[in-house]
Amino acid sequence: MNILEEIKGASTIGIGGHLRPDGDCIGASMGLYLYLIKACPEAKVEIFLEKPADVFSCISKIDQIHTDFATEVEQFDVFIALDTSKERLGEARGYFEHAKKRINIDHHVSNSGCGDVDHIRPKASSTSELVYEMIGDKSLIDEEIAKALYIGIIHDTGVFQYSNTSPATLKIAAELVAYGFDFSKLIEETFYEKTYVQTQILGRALLESILFMNGKCVVSMVDKKTMKFYKAQPYDLEGIVSQLRNIKEVECAIFMYQLDTLEYKVSLRSGGKVDVAKIASFFGGGGHKRAAGVTMQGTFHDIVNNLSAHIDAQLKEIGKQAEN
């Protein structure tokens, strides 16, 4: 798939990503935006995302994002949904649904596609990797475009630690690094470095975590009161679930934070045995086999009980297969 062929003739192009955008969503969206304004200078290109975390301010023209979702365009010729299905586009969903042509680019196995043109590759490490592959004319890629896409890849691969990292991923990363940006500084500042607030709330979440199912699972939760106490935003919670999963002998980690009364955003991580995408999909969410998310209603204990029933069922099935 060549993105320029798909948008040929378009005078207005919209780009959107999922609610509470992570590094891949931001990197893919900004990388594509920077490429399109360079490749299609005659077109009006607009990007719609919720406000990115300050750590991504190093990305060129990130201030061009319409965080208020306002636009003067009545109907986009093309609207591109990145790293999500239309259900999680937030306020940009209407622009996508009413566009003359809709393109959906994603790597989540739970996304069956929602556009006139769908490019869904679950085996890809990230949507940023897919965007790079879709750029036919690589001569237009510059250091800033490469930097944005590299940020997306390192965030969704855990700096090449996760199982979704393939030889193709590493090859693309090497090609991006060749554009000359300081990749080690980028990794440190956007992935590993934490603010004091982020470090405090991480410590709180780890301290209050609970091991269960004979140490195979761990869960932690941050409520609205705690978020307010630390003056934390949702993006300050990035990485907590991965830290929980790093606990020795833990197969599945659950982290949730409160969105509203009896409503929680749940993140799931697996060591490989449990398919958390299958569990998240059952409750209306999605993701990958080892990393998934879902918004759930109920009390903290009800949600944990519902999730643990599915986790336990999968582990028991694996045990039966091993016996046979």
Whether residues 111 and 258 fall in one domain? no
The HSE-up count of residue 287 (CA atoms within 13 Å, CB side) is 24
- Whether residue 293 contacts residue 268, with contact meaning beta carbons closer than 8 Å, is answered with yes
Whether residues 142 and 184 fall in one domain? yes
Residues of the chain with pLDDT under 70: 324
Distance from C-alpha of 240 to C-alpha of 201, rounded to nearest angstrom = 9
Whether residues 201 and 316 fall in one domain? yes
Whether residues 125 and 164 fall in one domain? yes
Which of residues 162, 192, 222 is at a domain's end? 192
Q: Which residues contact 240 (CB under 8 A, 6 or more apart)?
A: 201, 202, 205, 206, 220, 222, 255, 267
Q: Which domain holds residue 246?
A: 196-323
In this predicted structure, what is the pLDDT of residue 140? 96
Whether residues 121 and 213 fall in one domain? no
Whether residues 39 and 27 fall in one domain? yes
Whether residues 134 and 220 fall in one domain? no
Count of structural domains, the chain:
2
Whether residues 254 and 173 fall in one domain? no
In this predicted structure, what is the pLDDT of residue 288? 85
- Whether residue 157 contacts residue 169, with contact meaning beta carbons closer than 8 Å, is answered with yes
Whether residues 217 and 109 fall in one domain? no
Whether residues 266 and 147 fall in one domain? no
Whether residues 246 and 298 fall in one domain? yes
In this predicted structure, what is the pLDDT of residue 207? 97
In this predicted structure, what is the pLDDT of residue 162? 85
Whether residues 242 and 315 fall in one domain? yes
Distance from C-alpha of 125 to C-alpha of 127, rounded to nearest angstrom = 7
Which of residues 192, 209, 230 is at a domain's end? 192
Angle between helix axes 23-39 and 127-134 (nearest 10 degrees) is 20
What CATH number is attached to the domain comprising 136? 3.90.1640.10
Which residue bears the tokens 């046979």? 324
Q: What digits encode the pLDDT tens for the residues 56-93?
A: 999 999 999 999 999 999 999 999 999 999 999 999 99
Stated length of the chain: 324
Which of residues 192, 212, 240 is at a domain's end? 192
